[in-house]
Amino acid sequence: MAATSLDQIVSLSKRRGFVFPGSEIYGGLANSWDFGPLGAVLKENIRNFWLKRFIYKRQDMVMIDAAIMMNPKVWEASGHVANFNDAMIDCKECKARFRADHLIEEKFPEMKADGLLPKELTAIISEKKIACPRCGAKGKFTEARTFNLLFRTSFGAIEGGESRDIYLRGEIAQAMFVNFKNVLTTTRKRLPFGIASTGKAFRNEITPGNFIFRTLEFDLMEFEYFIREGDWEQYFDFWLKEQQKWLNDLGVDAKKLRVRQHTEDELSHYSKRTVDVEYETPFGWKELFGLAYRTDFDLKNHMEQSGEDLQYTDPDTNEKFIPHVIEPTFGLSRLTLVILLDAYHEEKLDNGEDRIVMKFHPRLAPVQVAILPLSKDERLVKKAQEVYELLNTNLDLRLDFDVTGSIGKRYRRQDEIGTPTCITVDFGTIGDDDKQCKKDHVTVRDRDSLKQEEIPISRLSSLLETRSA
């Protein structure tokens, strides 16, 4: 059985070290989360797979790693100061604050309220008599009003002295636009080509929540793919297919994915067409990735506001023009949650026992192979250590070595952290018990089928290489 509630994932994440509540020893900080030892590796595995697929293996893509704090003029030119808004509404009774569109969509999931004007949202909430989800009061909401999502902070270290307001980046994309000329002159790329980046983005969300689904700081991976205007539909379709293919290669259940086109009202201020790839979470169908046709909006505005020439010169014809942009964007923190949700399974075994198993794709699993001596007997531990060293030297895999607890308990732990393969060294391996393994053989246990096979140690490297790809 798959996960039916987010609580199952939150609880497993805490118990096994995927995600912890942020600043927990001080009572936490609302909606802040820390990735633990396994979660941090899982997230980096996803990021590395993305880097390989979309940057390192492509000649038309380069990467930058830009500053989180940028000149505030960037956010004025990009339209985020004026337009990066959500509408909020307060309950006068219990003082709870909500995103007005979410209030409507949660009550009427078939309605799309994102992008409506505050007065339209106020009218719907009053007409539909939507009650406060916190205290149940009806007709007690304030008018909806806009709230800018940019995360404001001050720049300059002099306390009480001069400092200036700046914003933490609300999206990574702007770094790619403001570096367009630098990248073009240093790499001599020709259209079409992309500039990619990954890292943290910050948004003052009105209603963060659903664990790591919507937080104030989160990891993003995105690229701006620069094209000629006339080619935009062709590349829009191309990148949508690539996003879907990639999700398939991550092992995400295709039945839980769908594509939804944004209505005119929903479109961001910079977009002419946007589609979301959505995932069916236990709290409904939700946006996982976005794909937008940003036209020449950003480069044109930055060119006007900065005075820099951000045009592209066609090397064959010398024609000068501002390229258009297709932007595939991948929320890394959100994708990590989806990978956790998708992997989670509760099963009843033939012997009547229940188990929780995380069925991560082997390339994403934080631990790919666990080496387990059957007991703490020194000879078994020594032999298992030899196996560990052999695999660690020959293979580029993430290994675990665990000797604590009964073998059954250790298998359960490896199932819960999603380790695809366990290798057990027993007395047969060291030639001491012919009822167990053959000498110099080990037992290889498959996480999903639970099949156990006896394999000679000499064959382990090639077998594991294939199984973990």
Under the rule (CB under 6 A), what is the footprint of ligand GAP? 171, 173, 203, 205, 214-215, 218, 220, 222, 287-290, 327, 329, 331, 333-334
Angstrom distances, CA of residue 304 to CA of 178, 309, 326, 398? 12, 9, 21, 50
Residue whose pair of structure tokens reads 């909020």 in the numeric block? 88
DSSP strand pairing (193-202 vs 61-63): parallel
- For residues 148 and 251, give the distance between their C-alpha atoms in angstroms, rounded to a whole number: 36
Query: In whole angstroms, how close is the CB of 432 to ligand GAP at the nearest point?
Result: 54
Task: Give the side-chain half-sphere CA count within 13 A for 207.
Answer: 17
Angstrom distances, CA of residue 452 to CA of 405, 424, 448? 20, 10, 11
Q: How many CB atoms sit inside 10 A of residue 146's CB?
A: 14
CB 237 within 8 A of CB 228: no
Residue 281, burial from CB neighbour count under 10 angstroms (0-12, 13-18, 19+): buried
CB closer to ligand GAP, 181 vs 203:
203
**Helical H segments across 231-347, by residue range:** 232-249, 297-306, 332-343
Where are the extended beta strands (E) located within 315-460?
A: 320-321, 324-331, 344-348, 354-358, 369-373, 399-401, 421-425, 441-446, 452-456
Query: In whole angstroms, how close is the CB of 296 to ligand GAP at the nearest point?
Result: 16
Query: In whole angstroms, how close is the CB of 95 to ligand GAP at the nearest point?
Result: 23
> Measuring CA to CA, which residue among 197, 215, 169 is closest to residue 32?
215
CB closer to ligand GAP, 288 vs 299:
288
Query: In whole angstroms, how close is the CB of 149 to ligand GAP at the nearest point?
Result: 9
Query: In whole angstroms, how close is the CB of 207 to ligand GAP at the nearest point?
Result: 10
Give the containing element (helix H, strand E) for 183. helix 180-187
CB 371 within 8 A of CB 387: yes
CB closer to ligand GAP, 198 vs 424:
198
Query: In whole angstroms, how close is the CB of 326 to ligand GAP at the nearest point?
Result: 12
Query: In whole angstroms, how close is the CB of 431 to ligand GAP at the nearest point?
Result: 54
- What length does the chain have? 469
Query: In whole angstroms, how close is the CB of 225 to ligand GAP at the nearest point?
Result: 12
CB closer to ligand GAP, 334 vs 447:
334
Calculate the CA dihedral of residues 186, 187, 191, 194 and round it to 10 degrees.
Answer: -100
Query: In whole angstroms, how close is the CB of 337 to ligand GAP at the nearest point?
Result: 9
Query: In whole angstroms, how close is the CB of 260 to ligand GAP at the nearest point?
Result: 12
CB 109 within 8 A of CB 284: yes
Question: Is the Cα torsion angle 62, 173, 327, 258 positive or negative in sign?
Answer: positive
Residue 257, burial from CB neighbour count under 10 angstroms (0-12, 13-18, 19+): buried
Query: In whole angstroms, how close is the CB of 287 to ligand GAP at the nearest point?
Result: 5
Q: Token pair of 229, please?
A: 């205007």
Residue with smallest beta-carbon separation from ligand GAP? 331
Angstrom distances, CA of residue 212 to CA of 239, 337, 381? 26, 7, 39
Query: In whole angstroms, how close is the CB of 277 to ligand GAP at the nearest point?
Result: 8
Residue 363: what are its φ and ψ, rounded to 5°? -75, -15
> Measuring CA to CA, which residue among 3, 12, 7, 14 is closest to residue 346?
3
CB closer to ligand GAP, 266 vs 465:
266
